[in-house]
Structure 1
Amino acid sequence: MDGPHDLGGAPGFGPVRFDPDEPLFDHDWQRKVFGLTMATSTIGLYNRDENRHARERMPAADYRATGYFEQWLVAMETNLTELGVLDAATLRARVEEFLAAPDEEVRGKAQPDLFELFRDTLEFGASLDRPVPTPPRYAVGDHVRAVSSAKPGHTRLPAYVRGHLGVVRRVDPAFVLPDTNAHHEGEHPEHTYNVAFNAHDLWEKGDHEVRVDVWESYLEPAD
């Protein structure tokens, strides 16, 4: 899906600035959004690819006007509403309750079993690597081309590499295919690769490599 999130090489946004001392959370509400998202996904209401796809579907103006954890909040609300766990009227009512009494303690209940599951997920992770019965199609050094188009819906293939030639630099384990996992079409794990593209080929400037991690179906043999 070509959405507002796919900004690689887009003009007018300036350099990406990185602060090595930046805190994980600037505000307490961000910590809560992270916790709620992890909790609702950990119990299986939706998966991480559905979460990403919900953010991608935000209107471009809204996406660019909101911060990272605001986008997480929108994605969680979108997923839970589409699943029927929440409804828009209830959500609006709770927001109005909060705005009327922002200092009042939010109602909730202790769920120790969920806490243990959540803690284990944070500590040990929830990897999406999977075994596949076939060997990798490509090897290190192979010249490949990124497919020129992506089907509608979620994909992890950046628009700026589509149709361009690259070289396989590393063969990685097989992982769940996001394109199907985001739409309840099955996991369909595939081998993944780290592919190097020439920056000048992508953007007509630069002489460095641009490394992109891609799934096998995102590639085809070079002509």
Structure 2
Amino acid sequence: MDGPHDLGGAQGFGPVRFDPDEPLFSHDWERKVFGLTMATSTVGLYNRDENRHARERMPTDEYRATSYFEQWLVAMETNLTELGVLDASALRERVAEFLEDPDREVRGKDQPELFELFRDTLEFGASLDRPAGPPRYSVGDRVRAVRDAKPGHTRLPAYVRGHVGVVHRVDGSFVLPDTNAHHEGENPENTYNVGFSAQDLWGKGDHEVLVDVWESYLEPA
């Protein structure tokens, strides 16, 4: 999906600043949002591609004005209300209660058994590699990134669409995000590492830009 999250090649946002000592969570509520997202996705309410797609659908101004975990919170609320797990009006009322009284005691209960369900995911990750047919392309093949990505969620950056590159590496096969985000099946595909000329993409630079792409994002050049 084209949207405010796809910043590749965009100008005017300043340098990306990296703090090697930055904590995992700057505030306690961020830790809770992370845990709730992990819990609700681990029990199968939605998958990681649905989660990403919910963030991508945020209005541009709202997306750019919110922090990373604020976007996670919006995505979780979006998914759970669209699924009918939460009632949108009840959620708004609950938020209003806490805005009026931030120190109000949170009603709830400990569920240690829920942590057991996603502890392995926290420690080892959840792989989306799946078997697929033989790869269509080989190392050294010239390929073109498709010009028109599938509407909705996609992992194909806008800045490479329509450009020609060379396959550097044939990787494994993985769930296709474009369909997984929309309940259209996992449809695993082979993936590739493709090098594009910076001069071709940006009009300057003598280096290559390496992009990992799914097979359906490519066509023979």
Q: TM-score, normalised by structure 1?
A: 0.96
Alignment deviations for residues 61-85 of structure 1 (CA, whole Å, 9 cap, x no partner): 1001111111111010100010001
Q: Are 1:161 and 2:124 counterparts?
A: no
Alignment deviations for residues 131-183 of structure 1 (CA, whole Å, 9 cap, x no partner): 11x21111111111100111211100000000001111111110000000000
Look up the match of 2:15. Answer: 15
1:22 & 1:73 partners in 2: Cα distance?
21
3-state SS in 1 of match to 2:18: coil
Q: Between the two proteins, what is the percent identity of the paired residues? A: 85
3-state SS in 2 of match to 1:70: helix
Shift of 1:124: 2.1
Shift of 1:191: 0.3
Look up the match of 1:143. Answer: 142
Look up the match of 1:201. Answer: 200
1:5 alignment partner AA: H
3-state SS in 2 of match to 1:31: helix
Shift of 1:110: 1.7
1:208 & 1:68 partners in 2: Cα distance?
30
3-state SS in 1 of match to 2:122: helix
3-state SS in 2 of match to 1:163: coil
2:125 alignment partner AA: G
1:96 & 1:159 partners in 2: Cα distance?
39
3-state SS in 1 of match to 2:90: helix
Q: How does 1:2-81 map to 2 (within 5 A)?
A: 2-81=2-81
Shift of 1:99: 1.8
Look up the match of 2:96. Answer: 96
Q: TM-score, normalised by structure 2?
A: 0.97
RMSD, matched Cα: 1.0
1:108 & 1:173 partners in 2: Cα distance?
42
Instruction: Give 5+ residue unaligned stretches, structure 1.
Output: none
Look up the match of 2:178. Answer: 179
**Alignment length (residue pairs):** 221
3-state SS in 1 of match to 2:210: strand
Instruction: Give 5+ residue unaligned stretches, structure 2.
Output: none
Alignment deviations for residues 44-67 of structure 1 (CA, whole Å, 9 cap, x no partner): 000000000001100001001111
Shift of 1:16: 1.6
Instruction: Find runs of 4+ consecutive structure 1 residues off by over 4 angstroms.
Output: none
